[in-house]
Structure 1
Amino acid sequence: MNIEFRKSEISDAEEIILVKANAFKEEVKMYGHGPNEKDSVEKERAFIRNIDGNNFSYILLDDGKIIGGIGGVDKGNGNFYLGCIYVALEYQSKGVGSMIMKFLDDKFPNAITWTLETPYLSYRNHHFYEKHGFVKVGQTKPRDDGFFLFLYERTR
């Protein structure tokens, strides 16, 4: 693997949606919903248009091919929200997620607190985040279909 990170560009939006759909296939099967190839490319473009504001969005490339990415928000005063980490299925369990966490720590040294949400049955996610210092601090209210998210936080 020859992994590199770069800021997302508007022209990446369609491929990002496809990679997200690939990355979250198991969650879509498990919950019956989640990122898929029909997600809004325009919403992705809108988020990327705002990355010079408080939003950040980076893609991971392996020999020029998008294989994953990260998106989030700098909420100010050292508080960051990690909205999404996604890694294509064929790259999962190969240390790419740990590369992402190191990248975030290096890119945002002023981060004091990171928060995120992850689905309640996504045990691999729970293990991954806990391995990287996150602690479960709560959960969202269940929706009518019973789906809810666990809230995680990591403070330096």
Structure 2
Amino acid sequence: MMITIEKAIMADAERLTEIMKRTFDEEARRWLKDQDMRDYNIQPPGYSSVEMTKYMIEELHYFKILYNKELVGGIIVTTTGRSFGRIDRIYIDPDYQGRRIGSRVIELIEQEFPAIRTWDLETSSKQVNNHRFYEKMGYETTFETEDEYCYIKRKGHSLTENQDISHAQYEHRQMAQSEFYQVNLEGSSFSNSNLMNTHISNCNLSHSTFQNLNFTHSLYADLNLSQSKMRFVTLAGVSFLDMNLGEKNEPLSFERCNLQGTKIHDCNLQNLAITDSDLTGMTINDIPVEKLLDAYHREVQKK
């Protein structure tokens, strides 16, 4: 028996997605009594999407799991700074489970990132076999609800751990390369500061305000921006890929926007409404919209 991990490549995307979908669907069948119920810790968003897999291969640490050189699963990791790591997803083909593959893969990932001293992950509260597995691997629960369990595994401790420095003020401080993990910054303010190359992941930024900021060449991925508002934003060269309108299918609203030269491709535009807009040069499937409207108005006049 030989269990190894290798960095996934784009050519692996379809096969990895196929295995992940089969694995998580089987988990849902096993643990969800109500099959119409959705548990995002069992069937995470985009788990059946090849495009989501491609994104994770390109932007995250995505490793394929090989059992005697045969592809049988994957593990996806996010690292923040030098010391913090998160296991976003791990899955083993149902036909290969029960062979100690998962425990060996956890060991291999820790060897792959020896500088990481704090690992965390989440799992569904319903998957009790996962609870036993992670505890066996040295993880401890940090948060429990009726929906999910959060786990952490520490290797050593920080000198600044568990200190309360609320209401402190910092000015003209050099804090480059600092790392923050499980820190409560609610209500904090950052102004006139250099935050270039900052990496923010798995954080709650709801009800936050971002004003007068330079976000050029930034990446925004795997985000929930529901009910957000954007005003006076320059979007030159921005790409929107694999977007959706959430579970409630709430529509987007564009007002007083300059969208000249915009391209919309392979999108669901059902019930999309465009009013009081300049459609000069706009085409749908290479057909000029102006000609379509002219033809429509001629037909109306005939009636």
TM bracket (short chain): 0.7 to 0.9
In structure 2, the partner of 1:15 is 15
Q: CA deviation at 1:49?
A: 1.2
What does 1:57-96 correspond to in 2, within 5 Å? 57-96=62-101
Contact 2:3 2:105 in 1 (8 A): no
Q: CA deviation at 1:27?
A: 2.3
The range that moved more, 36-45 or 4-13, is 36-45
* From 49, 52, 74, the counterpart of 1:43: 52
Q: CA deviation at 1:63?
A: 4.3
| Residue identity in the other structure for 1:121 | K
Contact 1:17 1:36 in 2 (8 A): no
Q: Encode CA deviations 1:117-151: one digit per residue, 9 max, x unaligned.
A: 000110111110000010110036x7xxxxx2211
**In the aligned structure 2, how far is the partner of 1:38 from the partner of 1:116?**
17
In structure 2, the partner of 1:149 is 148
**In the aligned structure 2, how far is the partner of 1:104 from the partner of 1:38?**
21
TM-score by length of 1: 0.84
Contact 2:46 2:52 in 1 (8 A): no
**In the aligned structure 1, how far is the partner of 2:107 from the partner of 2:73?**
15
TM-score by length of 2: 0.45
In structure 2, the partner of 1:145 is none
Q: Encode CA deviations 1:66-110: one digit per residue, 9 max, x unaligned.
A: 101110100114111110111111211111011101101211110
| Residue identity in the other structure for 1:40 | S
**In the aligned structure 1, how far is the partner of 2:58 from the partner of 2:106?**
24
Structure number with the higher strand fraction is 1
**In the aligned structure 2, how far is the partner of 1:35 from the partner of 1:18?**
14
Q: Whose radius of gyration is greater, 1 or 2?
A: 2
1:120 and 2:145 matched? no
Unaligned stretches of 5+ residues in structure 1: 143-147
Larger RCO, structures 1/2 (Cα 8 Å, 6+ apart): 1
In structure 2, the partner of 1:4 is 4
**In the aligned structure 2, how far is the partner of 1:40 from the partner of 1:13?**
9
**In the aligned structure 2, how far is the partner of 1:96 from the partner of 1:45?**
24
Unaligned stretches of 5+ residues in structure 2: 156-303
The range that moved more, 127-136 or 14-23, is 14-23
Contact 1:14 1:41 in 2 (8 A): yes
